[in-house]
Chain A
Amino acid sequence: MIVATIHIDNKPYEVQEGDNLLSACLSLGFDIPYFCWHPALHSVGSCRLCAVKNFRNEEDTRGHIVMSCMTAVCDGMRISVKDPEVLEFRASVIEWLMLHHPHDCPVCDEGGECHLQDMTVMTGHNYRRTRMRKRTFRNQELGPFIYHEMNRCIQCYRCVRFYRKYAGGRDLDVSGIHNHLYYGRFEDGTLESEFSGNLVEICPTGVFTDKTLRKHFTRKWDLQTAPSVCVHCGAGCNTIPGERYGKLRRILNRYNHEVNGYFLCDRGRFGYEFVNSDRRIRRAHLRPGTSDRSAELEPSSKEAVVASLEGILANGKRPIGIGSPRASLEANFALRSLVGPDRFYTGMPESESALVSLVLETLTCGPAVSVSLREVELCDAVLVLGEDVPNTSPRLALSLRQSVRRRSLKIADKHCIPLWNDRAVRKVSQEAKSPLFLATVAATRLDDISAATFNGTPDEIARLGYAVAHELDPAAPPVEGSTSEEHVLAACIAGALKAAERPLVVSGTGCGSEAVIIAAAQVAAALHRVGKTAGLSLCVPECNTLGVGLIGGGHLEAAFKEVTSGAADTVVILENDLFRRADAKLVAEFFKAATHVIAIDHLFNQTASHADLLLPAATFAEADGTFINAEGRAQRSYRVFPATDEIRESWRWLYELMQAAGKTDLPLWTTPDDVCRSIAESIDALKPLGQVAPPADFRVAGLKIPRQPHRYSGRTAMTAQVSVHEPAPARDADSALAFSMEGFHGHPPNALLDRYWAPGWNSVQALNKFQSEVGGPLRGGDPGIRVLEPAPDREATYPESVPEAFSPRAGERLIVPLYHVFGSEELSAVSPGIAERSPGPYLGLSPDDAESIGVDEGRNVRLTVADVVLVLPVRLIPSLPQGVTGLSVGLGDLPYVQVPAWGVVTRAKAGD
């Protein structure tokens, strides 16, 4: 960094030479109003609000107005941010924008957190001088997530720049000209992009608002919020959920420079409504009579359930515990403590367990280092092996979209175009892309930016990876019998990775193949051998897959065996619907064999309906918890509101069960910190867990951090229909956060940062005030700590064998999993909006295969895998290789089928 000294209103400041003047001024703490500029989208100079005055030198008293967003900082620069002419011009800009703005703030969802409101107040414009009629538009129906109100638009172009240029969407654009610009779709219809929810935060006013919030609307200042972590995939994006009256109302992005930055995917933003679902288990349930489970589960009292548990746990055979990759470390560890490490099972099927162990081994053995989402954006050549990233880890896909821009930025740099000058960068670079290679079973939504794609079976994908490794380093085993096309592709990929400054390999558990993950590790290792520091990003399916993997335990089939063999008769199932992870017949046999089934979960699901005892578990919104994301970053999520009814944190239930079971040497657990301490003591890899977040007794100047903003209204009247006496606020002994509007309202440690607000900045843009520099890390460092680091200087080793080439089997097809961002994840799929976007279960066939079977799109076919028979409609997927059939995973009530596997597909018979 070259330091430049600039004078702002005659005071010297040190900034970075060549930096964007607006960004530099905001980082210095100056309030310069802006609209079209965004730290992630950079400068285009359209709104003209960020005017400042530039003076040629000390003698120049007149100066001239420049747009700070379009001006580079240079040493010796003299500017004024409060020159009267500047202030007059900025007020004019607001006046122009207000010519047509409807001034409907009282009924606008954005009101109170509106950047336009803030900027209007900041510039001081307040009197309407025009007599013009306001222009009006017809609004569009944009689907379940986004509400459209075009009349409010101030034409800053941010929405289309984000949607199209940043997120790669195609169905939102600006049309029209002069003062009749329309931002919308070509026609009414659901926004296609899985990042559409970010429009809510990108739009500086209320054109695009959260439709799910609208259904149970609450002003920003009335929301109780807490720092949280998304539970709907393995990326671990940071979120700010908001609650009022015991209902979760919405999710906003929580900035973490290393992880999600400014953006979330729609599954993460709109999947929250399962928390409010009618299917929530709110009370403890007991099944009367224990022998044949013929009786229905009945709501019971917590005391009665615990009392009956006492008998079961103390007198029966020792119980086993089945944990869950979607439950927190605390919950899983508590279960492990209840049943003992050797009787704890991770809750993942054998196949998945093996994949997760492999991922953990790869990330801890090195030599490649797992990279954060931010680092992904810096990688200038990427190979994706096997993972359908937009569906399994959407936020990573958004980062990959940014990574291909490295080439553009390099070209712009060569032309001396500052990288923040967005349109100039795009012009000189012509959006040239760094290489992204996609080897997946079928086409993905990243194909449009890829340099080359390869669709094949998991083994073929693995073979391609091995071939690339061999091209990079001849010491890696060669791949025999590959076609010349495959050879050329492998050489091309190897060449691009080798030529890159920061190559990246992306893979994961998605295609269910160990060979693919090994191949990805091989490519990274080979790059290491030829002197390249390769990044590795391995996707895992759930929010705590790696966490439960690190705790360790047997797989699901082993748990089943333990019970069916009679070695155990009691099972405690933690936040896990076994029917989603194992063959229904096996699960049913298992339940039949188990004398006592105790389930702890959020929602009534198939597993819950088989339980003899059911305990209501708090969701992420009602429980503190620590999760480890795919990067290997441990992050603490805090409860947003106190659980109601009998709902409690899973670890608290389990702690109670430990007491009920009369366990001796019981650790003293009163807060999640205590549980984390026990975890750190007993699991090596999780030693640093205590540093993830400030302890429960953390205070700033003796004060807790309030979850409610200082403008929280109606507190004294919220429960007046029950009693006119204001109840005492719920106490939170578990963390430094309080269920209160009283406490420290400044900038707390970032792990506890639960909203963005600064004087004059009521919108999400107040975030600027919490960053060390605008768009950079949070002041004081980003929350979360990495727990997985490879051993230093590990030499790459290569396995001996390479998977065989794919040979189709007569009469059988290889069934591979296909994922959907909306629908494949269990909890989010319960949310109505996500459910609306989710397709029904289907079987994907290539058109040729469909023709050979004699079926068309939409016609039913019969799939037989092992002894499971399914009847599913056909969806034609042209990119699927011949002989390979895709099974939609996790959708609707589709039973679990372990894939990849060989199966038979035939036309459905009458009556199917």
Chain B
Amino acid sequence: MERPLTRNFRPDGPFDVKEYEKAGGYEALRKVLTGMSPKQVCDEVRASNLRGRGGAGFPTGAKWAFMPPANGEDRPRYLIVDADEMEPGTFKDRLLMEGDPHQLIEGIVIGGFAVQADVAYIFLRWEYKLAEKRLRKAIAEAYDSHYLGRNILGTDFNLELYLHVSAGRYICGEGSALVNSMEGKRAIPVARPPQQTESGLWGRPTLMNNVETMCNVPHIVKNGAAWFQGLSVCEDGGTKIYGVSGKVKRPGAWELPMGTPLREILEQHAGGMRDGVKFRGVLPGGASTEFFGEEHLDVSMCFDSLAQVGSRLGTGSLIVLDDRTCPVGMLHNLETFFARESCGWCTPCREGLPWIANILKDIEEGRGQPGDLEILEAHTRMLWIGRTYCALAPGAMEPLKSALRYFRDDFERHIRDKRCPWR
């Protein structure tokens, strides 16, 4: 099985530019700059059926095509790589940046060429110190080797790449909030229209992609769309880095064909549950997705099949809940995170999430009261899409909504017994 994204990973640190080149790196970039037009690159990516790995799964080729056609004067155009990976349970981008920074840089330059960007930014999560260090080194090497800067590889294509370390806010996963924060404003989303591709960073056409998405690009260009399609076991092309956390035998992350069944990830790769604990549920795509129970374990982990069963692939990072862990406590932990990360712009999210977290805390600590669950349930309806300004609060409601369904007895028992049965 091919693992293009992680094949260069070494325990003793990432490849430097020479080693990366030796392993076939920057060949795709050379191919693009010496023989392809921007449109050809876009078409190749579109044909590969690569879908955005940040969580929404939007077809990457289609997004690139939204960029208005470049004419000589209408500059600059921007490319932003969202590396502000803050979804609880998710760490795939960190692995990619730490494990093979040149792969990301090559993807950025190819993507930058495809949409005729002038400047690219990597918007990096503040806590990712090791990734920052390795990216800085790799970027410097890439400049020295003329993969970045003016006249890349002797052509007339120019691209400046900057590493921007974020101040650390979950809401920056929302593209427009990310742009606001880069502009020095409060990190608050802006409703569309305008689309980022029309008016993004400083009002200019801006393309925004996830780290994992961009890492796929060199391989697509190098090996072709058909090859990329062949990597997966579902409609969506390529491989996916799936991660598992929770009380499994071998928590970790693996590059697997897109569409690998959930059960296979949990049982083969993560080694199944630890001895003495039982599986109760799983958040399939990070903290802002709906719980799955036993009955869903055979689902294929790709965007469409998860949507069909009412959840989302999200970041493909599984969080497993076991029978020795209090689901109320888990929810309290998650909702506290979301309440803290609300940007404060719209009322339901700003005020509703802390109230939810507060009720969950009360229930967990034995102060729950009859009626609390009704308030929580009402919030799962009230903090829904269209009622809040952006997707943060609806995302926070997904685990809560499903937990109230799957673990109703546990919630009620907390309230009835006025204590947490797990304590």
| With A66-B386, A174-B186, A178-B342: A46-B347 Cβ-Cβ less than 8 Å | yes
Is A430 a contact partner of B202 (Cβ separation < 8 A)?
yes
A92 at the interface (CB under 8 A from B): yes
Give how many B residues have a beta carbon under 8 Å from the other chain's beta carbons.
38
| With A48-B348, A96-B355: A129-B198 Cβ-Cβ less than 8 Å | no
Min CB distance, B184 to chain A, in Å? 13
Partner of A96, one of B190, B191, B199, B351: B351
Residues of B within 8 A of A122 (CB): none
Is B344 a contact partner of A424 (Cβ separation < 8 A)?
no
Partner of B339, one of A66, A179, A415: A179
Indicate with 1 or 0, residue by residue over A96-121, a CB within 8 angstroms of chain B CB atoms: 11011000000000000000000000
Indicate with 1 or 0, residue by residue over B323-360, a CB within 8 angstroms of chain A CB atoms: 00000000000000001111111111011111100100
Partner of B344, one of A176, A415, A423: A176
The total of interchain contacts (Cβ-Cβ below 8 angstroms) comes to 106
Is B194 a contact partner of A178 (Cβ separation < 8 A)?
no
Min CB distance, A78 to chain B, in Å? 16
Residues of B within 8 A of A99 (CB): 351, 355
Min CB distance, A131 to chain B, in Å? 7
Is B342 a contact partner of A177 (Cβ separation < 8 A)?
yes
A181 at the interface (CB under 8 A from B): yes
Partner of B190, one of A48, A49, A423: A423
Residues of B within 8 A of A92 (CB): 348, 352, 378, 382
| With A65-B386, A423-B191: A47-B346 Cβ-Cβ less than 8 Å | yes
Give how many A residues have a beta carbon under 8 Å from the other chain's beta carbons.
40
Alpha-carbon gap, A179 to B351, bound state (A) = 6
Partner of B375, one of A97, A129, A423: A129
Is B203 a contact partner of A427 (Cβ separation < 8 A)?
yes
Alpha-carbon gap, A132 to B362, bound state (A) = 10
Alpha-carbon gap, A417 to B195, bound state (A) = 11
Min CB distance, A385 to chain B, in Å? 32
Min CB distance, B378 to chain A, in Å? 7
Alpha-carbon gap, A212 to B351, bound state (A) = 33
Min CB distance, A186 to chain B, in Å? 15
| With A99-B355, A178-B339: A49-B191 Cβ-Cβ less than 8 Å | no
B193 at the interface (CB under 8 A from A): yes
Is A430 a contact partner of B354 (Cβ separation < 8 A)?
no
B24 at the interface (CB under 8 A from A): no
Is A51 a contact partner of B340 (Cβ separation < 8 A)?
no
Q: For residue B180, which residue of chain A has the nearest CB?
A: A427
A712 at the interface (CB under 8 A from B): no
Indicate with 1 or 0, residue by residue over B261-292, a CB within 8 angstroms of chain A CB atoms: 00000000000000000000000000000000
B11 at the interface (CB under 8 A from A): no
Alpha-carbon gap, A45 to B371, bound state (A) = 31
Min CB distance, B308 to chain A, in Å? 21
A715 at the interface (CB under 8 A from B): no
Min CB distance, B245 to chain A, in Å? 25
A852 at the interface (CB under 8 A from B): no
A428 at the interface (CB under 8 A from B): yes
Partner of B346, one of A48, A130, A427, A428: A48
Q: For residue A176, which residue of chain B has the nearest CB?
A: B344
Alpha-carbon gap, A415 to B345, bound state (A) = 25
| With A48-B387, A92-B382: A177-B344 Cβ-Cβ less than 8 Å | yes
Partner of A46, one of B203, B354, B389: B389
> Of residues 22 to 53 in A, which have CB atoms within 8 Å of B's CB atoms?
45-49, 51
Residues of A within 8 A of B194 (CB): 415, 417, 424, 427-428
B8 at the interface (CB under 8 A from A): no
Residues of B within 8 A of A129 (CB): 371, 375
Q: For residue B338, which residue of chain A has the nearest CB?
A: A178
Alpha-carbon gap, A841 to B190, bound state (A) = 48
Residues of B within 8 A of A424 (CB): 190-191, 193-194
Residues of A within 8 A of B362 (CB): 131
Partner of A48, one of B186, B191, B339, B347: B347
Q: For residue B187, which residue of chain A has the nearest CB?
A: A177
Alpha-carbon gap, A179 to B347, bound state (A) = 9
> Of residues 369 to 404 in B, which have CB atoms within 8 Å of A's CB atoms?
369, 371, 375, 378, 382, 386-389
A70 at the interface (CB under 8 A from B): yes
Residues of B within 8 A of A100 (CB): 351
Min CB distance, A77 to chain B, in Å? 16
Is A428 a contact partner of B203 (Cβ separation < 8 A)?
yes
Alpha-carbon gap, A64 to B387, bound state (A) = 9
Alpha-carbon gap, A180 to B199, bound state (A) = 30
Is B375 a contact partner of A181 (Cβ separation < 8 A)?
no
| With A45-B389, A424-B194: A429-B203 Cβ-Cβ less than 8 Å | yes
Residues of A within 8 A of B339 (CB): 178-179
A785 at the interface (CB under 8 A from B): no
Residues of A within 8 A of B347 (CB): 46-49, 93, 96-97, 155
> Of residues 412 to 430 in A, which have CB atoms within 8 Å of B's CB atoms?
415-417, 421, 423-424, 427-430
Alpha-carbon gap, A93 to B344, bound state (A) = 14
A89 at the interface (CB under 8 A from B): yes
Min CB distance, A155 to chain B, in Å? 7
Is A181 a contact partner of B344 (Cβ separation < 8 A)?
yes
Q: For residue A174, which residue of chain B has the nearest CB?
A: B186
Q: For residue A132, which residue of chain B has the nearest CB?
A: B358
Alpha-carbon gap, A99 to B343, bound state (A) = 18
Residues of B within 8 A of A97 (CB): 347, 351
Q: For residue B379, which residue of chain A has the nearest CB?
A: A92
Q: Can you give 29 contacting A-B residue pairs, CB < 8 Å?
A: A45-B191, A46-B345, A46-B389, A47-B346, A47-B347, A48-B389, A51-B387, A64-B386, A65-B387, A92-B348, A92-B378, A93-B347, A93-B348, A129-B375, A131-B369, A132-B354, A132-B355, A155-B347, A157-B345, A174-B186, A176-B344, A177-B342, A178-B354, A179-B350, A180-B344, A417-B193, A423-B191, A428-B194, A430-B202
With A89-B382, A177-B169 known, 20 other A-B pairs at CB within 8 A are A45-B191, A48-B388, A48-B389, A51-B387, A65-B386, A65-B387, A96-B350, A99-B355, A131-B367, A131-B369, A174-B186, A177-B342, A177-B344, A178-B350, A179-B351, A181-B350, A415-B198, A423-B191, A427-B190, A430-B203
Residues of B at the A interface (CB closer than 8 Å) are 169, 186, 190-191, 193-194, 198-199, 202-203, 339-348, 350-355, 358, 362, 367, 369, 371, 375, 378, 382, 386-389
